[in-house]
Amino acid sequence: MDKKILAIIAIIIVAIVAVGAYFALGAGDDTITIGHLPSDHDTAMYVAEAQKQYEAQGLKVETVQFNNGGDLMTAMASGDVDVGYVGITPVLSSIEKGVPVKVVSGAQIEGSGVVVGSDSGINSLADLKGKKVGTPGAATIQNMIITYGLNKSGVNVNDVELISMKAAQMTDALKAGQIDAMICWEPFSSIAVKNGYGKLLQNTSDIIPGHPCCVVAARQDFIDNHPEELKKILAIHENTTKFTNENPSEAAALLPEDIVPDKELQTSIINDTQFISGLDEDYKKSVIDFMQLGVDLGLLKEPISEDKIFAEL
């Protein structure tokens, strides 16, 4: 066979092998990974999934659940997650550590509660001194809020045993008397109260009124390299947030059964929750104020500038 023909065949074979390896290694995969928590704070994302809004916009999306915001941000830091529905506290902590992520939208305001055992005799945050309190994790917004609330009540957080637990495990532990109290996102705090083994001590809105909670965050490389896809994701988030606020019972019916076993209760929770989208100046200010509170509590080492927190879209 002619040497020139053999050379051409060899080049073609090398090209085929290279392309095959490219896709085998996932480099050609256009899947967008969205991380989230087992919480109704991520209702907009759940609604988008149930209504197949990502597919309708030509997006190939895979959603991945994490136990808490710290775990989710670790996955974003490693590049395993592109976009996340996650609490503002772990996002700020990650930004401070140099993780290339930014907030691209708000998701909801407040939405957690401090619940104590119904027969615990605990009637104030000050009564938590010497008690066992379940939290979703050290890096979470709930951990920050209980730290602030205890300090405000004259209790050193070191005098309370904060125990990191999965959200669903907290309600079981409270019911079994393994913990005296818990601070958790909805719907778990309301579930404990409705089922009779928990008593609402305070909503986080009572501790820090109007505090930001979950946001939509994205990796900087996704923001830079996939602006059209991000634009579609944010438009979907805006649409499903509007749908949730206007149709609470319909939105509740679309949430996963393992997170929301009681649709009637969930409808009530949605009615009492502020689901938001976008990044207006008032919202940005509330995040900056919350960030400064984290600095004051020693949970953040120093203030983070606004341009490092929010994406310019």
pLDDT tens for the 313 residues of the chain, in order: 554 444 444 434 333 333 333 333 333 479 999 999 999 999 999 999 999 999 999 999 999 999 999 999 999 999 999 999 999 999 999 999 999 999 999 999 999 999 999 999 999 999 999 999 999 999 899 999 999 999 999 999 999 999 999 999 999 999 999 999 999 999 999 999 999 999 999 999 999 999 999 999 999 999 999 999 999 999 999 999 999 999 999 999 999 999 999 999 999 999 999 999 999 999 999 999 999 999 999 999 999 999 999 998 8
65-80, pLDDT tens digit by residue? 999 999 999 999 999 9
The helix or strand, by DSSP H or E, that contains position 165, with its residue range, turns out to be: none
Helix 281-296, helix 141-152: angle, nearest 10: 60
Instruction: In whole angstroms, give the CA distance from residue 185 to residue 248.
Output: 18
Q: What pLDDT does 2 receive?
A: 52
Rounded to the nearest 10 degrees, what angle do helices 88-96 and 281-296 cross at? 70
Q: Does one domain contain both 123 and 90?
A: no
Task: Please tell me whether residues 217 and 105 are part of one structural domain.
Answer: yes
Look up the CATH number of the domain holding residue 97.
Answer: 3.40.190.10
Q: Kindly state whether residues 128 and 85 are assigned to the same domain.
A: no
Are 52 and 25 in the same domain?
no
Q: How many domains does one find in the chain?
A: 3
Query: Given CA atoms 265, 267, 271, 274 in this order, what sign does their dihedral have?
Result: positive
Stated pTM of the model: 0.88
What secondary structure, in 3-state letters, does 166-191 show?
A: CHHHHHHHHHCCCCCEEEEECCHHHH
- Name the nearest CA neighbour of 165 among 145, 148, 181, 187: 181
127 lies in the same domain as 105: no
Tell me: do 271 and 125 sit in the same domain.
no
Last residue in a domain, options 153, 178, 207: 207
In terms of Cα–Cα distance, which of 158, 40, 171 is closest to 116?
A: 171
**Same-domain status, 305 and 221:** yes
Mark whether 132 and 182 lie in a shared domain: yes
Check whether residue 41 and residue 68 sit in a common domain: yes
Using CA atoms, how far apart are residues 111 and 272, in angstroms rounded to an integer? 8
Which structural domain range is residue 91 located in? 32-110+211-309
Same domain for 90 and 173, yes or no, is no
Q: Which helix (H) or strand (E) holds 256?
A: none
Sheet of strand 214-219: strand arrangement: 61-65, 32-36, 83-87, 214-219, 101-106
Q: Render pLDDT for 25-82 as a digit per residue (tens, 0 to 9).
A: 333 479 999 999 999 999 999 999 999 999 999 999 999 999 999 999 999 999 999 9
Q: What per-residue confidence (pLDDT) applies to 197?
A: 97
Examine the domain organization and report whether 84 and 95 are in the same domain: yes
- 268 phi and psi, to 5 degrees? -65, -40
Domain endpoint, select from 144, 175, 207? 207
Measure the CA–CA gap between 161 and 145, rounded to whole angstroms.
15
Q: Which two tokens stand for residue 255?
A: 């949430």
CA dist 298 and 204 (Å) reads: 20
- Residue at which a domain ends, from 158, 190, 207: 207
pLDDT score at 29: 74
